[in-house]
Amino acid sequence: MMVRRLLFTGGRDWPSTRHGWSVMYWGIRARTDPWSDAGIVVVHGDADGADQMVKYIAGRMGWATEPYPASRFPSPRARNQRMVDLGADECVACATSWASGTGMCARMARRAGIVVTDLGVDTRIEVRPSFV
């Protein structure tokens, strides 16, 4: 069986309300429908917030998860780079701020040639906010 890797990056402050769960479920399900015949591994940072939601959803859907907790890495940049370097078929980003670890991971994934879908704010480098 073919295994597809989905890199998930999400903010600790992603809403845990019903809306947050609905967006998470819709986003992950919508992105993986074409992969229905494949085994799916969801790669995530194992942080509070969105990562815990995706871990729960992946478990409910019978998908494997591959957590990368911050305690194993010297910095957020190192953790994000490791998850990107391992490769993925797609990346789903749930950022509430462009200037965040989630945004950084999404931009790293784009530079690595991984297709990124933003479910939160737009994380592309081209839309960088101007800081006055």
CATH code for the domain defined by 3-127: 3.40.50.450
Query: For the residues 5-24, what does the mean pLDDT come to?
Result: 77
Instruction: In whole angstroms, give the CA distance from residue 31 to residue 12.
Output: 21
pLDDT band, very low/low/confident/very high, at 132 (cuts 50, 70, 90): very low
Q: Is the pLDDT of residue 35 over 60?
A: no
Pairing of strands 64-67, 90-94: unpaired
* pLDDT greater than 90 at residue 8: yes
Q: Enumerate the H helices of 1-132 as residue ranges.
A: 18-32, 50-60, 76-85, 101-111
Q: Which residues pair with 6 in a beta bridge?
A: 42, 90
pLDDT, greater one: 81 or 132: 81
The confidence band for 119, taking pLDDT boundaries of 50, 70 and 90, is confident
pLDDT in tens, 52-97: 888 888 888 888 999 999 999 999 999 999 999 999 999 999 888 8
**73 — phi, psi (to 5°)?**
-130, 150
Domain spans of the chain, in order of start:
3-127
Give the global pTM. Answer: 0.84
Strand partners, 5: 41
What's the CA gap between 39 and 102, in Å, rounded? 25
